[in-house]
Structure 1
Amino acid sequence: MTKHAVAWTEIPVTDMEKSVAFYNDVFDFGMTIDNSGPNPMAMFGATGNAIGGHLYPGKPAADGGNTIHLYVPDGLEATMKRCEAAGGEIVSPIITIPPGRFAYAKDLDGNSLGIFEAAS
């Protein structure tokens, strides 16, 4: 198994249904709410060796908390437009780095997100 620095991510949200719809609209995840455990959760990116995570009912950090960078399903600009259309906020210009390009955004609860497009 490949060793990664990050094992898992969790994003606290105040409204599971609205947040699942937001992340599905923006990133095309196909998430559903799983109520089989002690708390509801909706998983994303947990296939194979991929690092995944989930949304869960919780209290987001007042300042946006840590930033989780998520891959775009298509172009960066298209994903940024979907983010805004779904109720999120783009909070930076596009930033280019050797591995690709990204922009900072906030979800419906103000959680900090990096919307990342890998270099081709």
Structure 2
Amino acid sequence: MDQHNKINYLEIPVKNLAQTKTFFSRAFGWDFTDYGPEYSCFNQAGIAGGFYLSPHSFELNRGSVLIVIYSDDLLESITGVEAAGGTITEPVFSFPGGRRFHFKDPNGNEFGVWSQ
């Protein structure tokens, strides 16, 4: 639902669109709508957005925003991320409000996954 003055859409740079779609489909069950060979919208992700071809990646240590995905089961999510080709960069740790881990997708982009 579009709401005035609310964050509505994310665009994420990726080096390999096909590999990215395979990774997020396997790890998190997302599906995609392609808009040409260089852009694909993700679905079932909790927020609208898309992946676009770019030679760049993002990481926290370079000042990037952290995109965080919610999970009902962190261990299941870790297994899914690793089985799909991601790399755990921060093992599960506690923070006020829950627990989370960080990972890099096959493009080198860093994400978090959290649970209560």
The answer, yes or no, to whether TM exceeds 0.5 is yes
AA matched with 2:15: T
| Residue of structure 2 equivalent to 1:80 | 78
Name the structure 1 match of 2:95.
97
Find the counterpart in structure 2 of residue 110 from structure 1: 108
1:56 paired with 2:52, answer yes
Q: Which residue of 1 aligns with 2:70?
A: 71
TM-score by length of structure 1 reads 0.75
Say if 2:17 and 2:51, in contact at 8 Å, map to a contact too.
yes
- Which consecutive unaligned segments of at least 5 residues does structure 2 have? none
Contact 1:16–1:33 (CA under 8 A) maintained in structure 2:
no
Query: Does structure 1 conserve the Cα–Cα contact (< 8 Å) formed by 2:14 and 2:57?
Result: no
**Partner in structure 1 of residue 35 of structure 2:** 35
Contact 1:69 1:116 in 2 (8 A): yes
TM-score of the two chains, using structure 2 as the length reference: 0.77
Letter paired with 2:92 = I
Following TM superposition, by how much is the alpha carbon of 1:8 offset from its aligned partner in structure 2, in angstroms? 2.2
Q: 1:99 to 1:51 in 2, by over 3 A?
A: farther
Which amino acid is the alignment partner of residue 59 of structure 1? P
Using the aligned pairs only, state the percent identity: 28
- The residue type equivalent to 2:20 in the other structure is S
Aligned length in residues = 111
**Matched-pair contact (CA < 8 Å) for 1:41–1:56:** yes
| 1:29-77 deviation per Cα after TM superposition (whole angstroms, max 9, x unaligned) | 1x124126x952132347xxx53322121222365643211123x4111
- The Cα RMSD (Å) is 2.6
Contact 2:38/2:52 (CA < 8 Å) preserved in 1? yes
